[in-house]
Amino acid sequence: MEMAQPVNIISGTSPLFWCHVIGDSIQCSGAQGQNVLRIAMDDVICILPHLSQDKSQYTMIYLRHNTWEAISQLEENTPARLVASILLTSPPSILLSRYLCAELPPHLRSTGSQKLDIHVIISSLSGTGKARRFFSKILQPLLSDIGLTEYEVHQTQSARSILDLCRTKLIVRANLRISQTIILLSGDGGLTDIVGSFHDATNNALVPPSIALIPLGTGNAMASSLNLLSNPAASLTTLVLGRPHPVPTFVTDFSPGVQYLEEGHVRVSVHNPSMNESTGHLRYGAVVASWGVHASLVADSDTPEYRKFGAERFQMAAKELLFPSNGTATHSYHGKLTLLQRNTDPDETKRKTVECEKHMYMLAALVPRLERDFVISPESVPLDGCLRMVHFGPIPPEQAMQLMASAYQGGGHVHEREVFYSEMDGFRIDLLEADERWRRICIDGRIFVIEEGGWVEVRKESRRLVGLLVRSMDDME
């Protein structure tokens, strides 16, 4: 597929192309029909009015073909640009209705006296390490093409970099009533760090930041659920054409001895000395909380050896847990599970303890998908705030694998008789495990180790203190 050369949007001397839509692609041709180009619809990022007196002229910005393959192969210093643009005359209405950006939205421009800070966060540790190349080859050229040159770039150096940035800059600016847009090149973990930091802040009158999520993690549960992985340009189109929507969260409380496994192995106390004793162990999430096989496979696969396999690492770790290579039996997780549901009185909570104290899989999600094709909670709607639990007790490992395979086929596992699936307001687990390997809890991909005899409790949070850019809510259902 031949691609047009990039053009300068400011220039008025670029060649004009006529275009029409054929199936899933756009055919463009110059005068007398020469220079025929075909561009996939899914590669289009946006269409901007051209800076000329002719109101029929537009600049279409798009990704070059096979962008994702290229971004994996290019070195950081390779002088290649993976964003291109072409000057169109009188494009068909179907293109304009889908991609036209008549003017930059409020989250990308200052309006009147309202100052706007724009931050780009490059999470170096996310996924398979493509974030820096994505910024230099795709995002930076795109921002330049839409006329955006004033922004701060922050590159993470450790697992705490985003937390430190929130504490030292983002929350400070939000306290000053300054609007902020955060373009986040990360997975779910980076989003959780921002969500948690703003919920930890003592001032609830903070100006909520607008987050544009560019999915470069491993599972990318939030991005998958928002259809940001539906095509190569989806997250970039959402950056330009999206609008902020409040992000619902849950709050997790732990027993006092809990520790966080930073970067997979470094133990860090969860207690926050800046908070009082009753709230010092709280952590916030926006995606998933789990115990059992899911938490164990996320923890076990968080190594350099596993990470190079991308999302496939989860299936590899799951197989080892269900069919241990040392020949031992599949582990049954021991703990007292209590389900929490609000009564008609919003200040009262009904508690129901599950009779069986042996479990295999226990997960509560605010999103439908954990990966693009892994539908863990088919009834969930992104950002609607409903928390749903998926649970099953000890079953043969072959049967557990079949249930997980059904999740990759549209979420059919929730209809099996072994699976409990229901909406709830929260849950509590009192852990009855001696070996700490089976006392690991997953909160949005972060792993926490509960002390022997300890507990964890998860509840829906009423506050929504950050916004996430989305296109249409209808597109996510």
**Domain boundary assignment for the chain:** 16-99, 116-241, 250-461
Q: In the CATH scheme, what is the code of domain 16-99? A: 2.30.29
Residue that is written with structure tokens 């189109």 in the block: 237
Q: Are 85 and 9 in contact (CB under 8 A)?
A: yes
Average pLDDT, the chain: 88
CATH architecture of 250-461: Sandwich (2.60)
Q: Quick one: pLDDT at residue 76?
A: 59
Q: Quick one: pLDDT at residue 4?
A: 35
Q: Which stretches of the chain score pLDDT less than 70?
A: 1-13, 31-34, 65-80, 127-128, 263-266, 271-280, 344-347, 473-477
- Which candidate, 229, 240, 279, places its Cα nearest to that of 104? 240
Q: Give the model confidence (pLDDT) of 432-470 as tens digits.
A: 999 999 999 999 999 999 999 999 999 999 999 999 999
Is-same-fold flag (116-241; 250-461)?
no
Q: How much is the pTM? A: 0.89
Q: Give the model confidence (pLDDT) of 7-58 as tens digits.
A: 334 444 578 899 999 999 999 998 666 678 899 999 999 999 988 777 889 9
Could you tell me which CATH class the domain 116-241 is placed in? alpha beta
Q: Quick one: pLDDT at residue 100?
A: 96
